[in-house]
Copies of this chain bind each other. A is one copy, B any other.
Amino acid sequence: MLKCEIISVGTELLLGQIANTDAKFISEMLTSLGIDVYFQTNVGDNKSRLLECLKIASNRSDIIILTGGLGPTMDDLTKETVAEFFGLKLVVDIDTKIKIESYFKKSMREMTQNNYKQALFPEGSKILPNDNGTAPGCIFEKNGKKVVILPGPPSELIPMFNNYVYPFLKSLSNDIIVSRVIKIFGIGESKVETMVSDMLLSKNPTVAPLIGNGFVTLRITAKSDDVQKAKKMIDDIEVSLRKIFGEYIFGVDDDTMESIVLNLLKDKGSTLSTAESCTGGLLSEKITSVPGASEVFKFGAITYSNESKENILGVSGEIIRRHGAVSEETAREMAMNVKNISKTDYGLSITGIAGPSGGTIAKPVGLVYIGLAYKDEIYVKKLISNGNRDKVRLNSAMHALDMLRRHLTGLKIDY
């Protein structure tokens, strides 16, 4: 079994300015490939200490993955130091040089001399394109060690790993590892775990809960010498999980609640508009983060004040005065009216109290009403969320999307 070690370079880690989520991500992926990670080390932007780490790592690991320190500044010294340790020269990659030049030309920004550093790599490296930034990564082999160098920012590292490093590492092992993530919404994490406690003990395939962002995920991982066999093992587990969780499973793998809802709307040829109060645009932001959203999403109203609810969205002032802006009645009108003025098939609304202030005994922080209008149908769901302002807002947006998913797939909306 291959042994891998992760070295993350960056003084910001040692100063405690950020937690190392890169090492977490890479370790999770390596585990799914059947590669053992025995050590993760964080070291500063310091040549001698990085050399020390490389010496230790090359004595005990087959694969060394380094993250961070690929930027254009003086502090960024990962490639130089790794090249020195392995006795390799740094050479210019012409393609990268041209790309960096055109990047600066396009954004009409001045290019400084230190930007050229990003086009230098240890000789013999395979270059890993950076589709989300200027610093490419690289892979080389020397003295029987495989060395992978990746940029630090997660928005650059994650796609680079998925597109270029994962296939490379996968090719090193005879074991076929297949995994699938099942995403569940509407049941709490500890309840999910209790419901599948026997499965969590299984050795192959394994079933493991992951920390999700607003929902619960279970990762199924199967190991075999044959892809089809591994897939079959996973399919069988998925069938069992679907028997247990049924309609609470909203997607698998890269699915997000918003991508699922958008695809359902596209399939049905239906259009959507939204009216938000306490979420302040989070719902529409999630929906429009999916490429191609404009096919189905037409309009969103952030009616943050009572006046805008009344004057722009046409919510009855009488209703707001009698029931309050945070009420079933207001949520109902918001959903119906936004649907009507934007001439869409669906209207989805959220009104609530995100906190930290604004709560009362009758209407506490976390109280949210979600409205869904479709033709003459209208549904309102009352929600009480725990947690801070961010959590209340996220939970509200997720529940609104789930309500729409349920309507689009003919499921019961209230549960």
**Chain A contacts to B: CB under 8 angstroms:** 11-21, 23-31, 36-44, 46, 49, 52-53, 56, 60, 71-75, 103, 106-110, 112, 114-115, 131-133, 152-153, 155, 188-191, 193-194, 197, 200, 208-211, 219, 273-274, 276, 278-285, 287-289, 291-294, 297-305, 307-308, 311-312, 341-343, 355-357, 366, 384-391, 393
Can you pick out 29 interface pairs between chain A and chain B where the beta carbons lie within 8 Å of each other? A12-B210, A12-B211, A13-B40, A14-B40, A15-B28, A16-B28, A18-B24, A19-B20, A19-B21, A38-B49, A39-B49, A40-B41, A112-B191, A132-B388, A155-B390, A155-B391, A281-B284, A281-B300, A284-B302, A288-B304, A289-B389, A291-B356, A291-B389, A294-B305, A298-B307, A299-B305, A300-B302, A308-B342, A312-B342
Residues in B whose Cβ lies below 8 Å from that of A24:
13, 16-20
Q: Is there an interface contact between B304 and A299, defined as CB atoms closer than 8 Å?
A: yes
Point out which of A14, A27, A305, A308 has the most chain B C-beta atoms below 10 A from its C-beta.
A14
Give the Cβ gap from A35 to chain B, nearest Cβ, in Å. Answer: 11
Q: Is there an interface contact between B19 and A23, defined as CB atoms closer than 8 Å?
A: yes
Number of copies: 2
- In the complex, A110 Cα to B186 Cα: how many Å? 12
Query: Given contacts A11-B208, A357-B292, are A302 and B304 in contact (CB under 8 A)?
Result: no
- Give the residue name and chain of the B residue nearest to A24 (CB): B19
Q: Is there an interface contact between B43 and A42, defined as CB atoms closer than 8 Å?
A: no
Residues in B whose Cβ lies below 8 Å from that of A300:
280-281, 300-302, 304
Q: Is there an interface contact between B41 and A15, defined as CB atoms closer than 8 Å?
A: no
Q: Is there an interface contact between B280 and A302, defined as CB atoms closer than 8 Å?
A: no
Q: B19, B153, B191, B391: which contacts A19 (Cβ < 8 A)?
A: B19
Residues in B whose Cβ lies below 8 Å from that of A74:
193, 197, 200
Point out which of A17, A31, A115 has the most chain B C-beta atoms below 10 A from its C-beta.
A17
- Give the residue name and chain of the B residue nearest to A32 (CB): B16
Interface class of chain A by DSSP: mixed
Residues in B whose Cβ lies below 8 Å from that of A23:
13, 16, 19-20, 42
Residues in B whose Cβ lies below 8 Å from that of A40:
13-14, 20, 41-42
Point out which of A13, A53, A200, A278 has the most chain B C-beta atoms below 10 A from its C-beta.
A13
Give the Cβ gap from A7 to chain B, nearest Cβ, in Å. Answer: 10
- In the complex, A53 Cα to B56 Cα: how many Å? 10
- In the complex, A109 Cα to B383 Cα: how many Å? 12
Query: Given contacts A17-B210, A19-B21, A20-B19, are A308 and B298 in contact (CB under 8 A)?
Result: yes
Residues in B whose Cβ lies below 8 Å from that of A311:
341-342
Q: A273-B308, A299-B305 are in contact. List 17 more A-B contacts (CB 8 A).
A: A14-B27, A17-B24, A39-B43, A39-B53, A73-B190, A74-B197, A75-B200, A75-B208, A103-B386, A110-B191, A112-B190, A133-B387, A284-B302, A300-B300, A300-B302, A308-B342, A312-B341
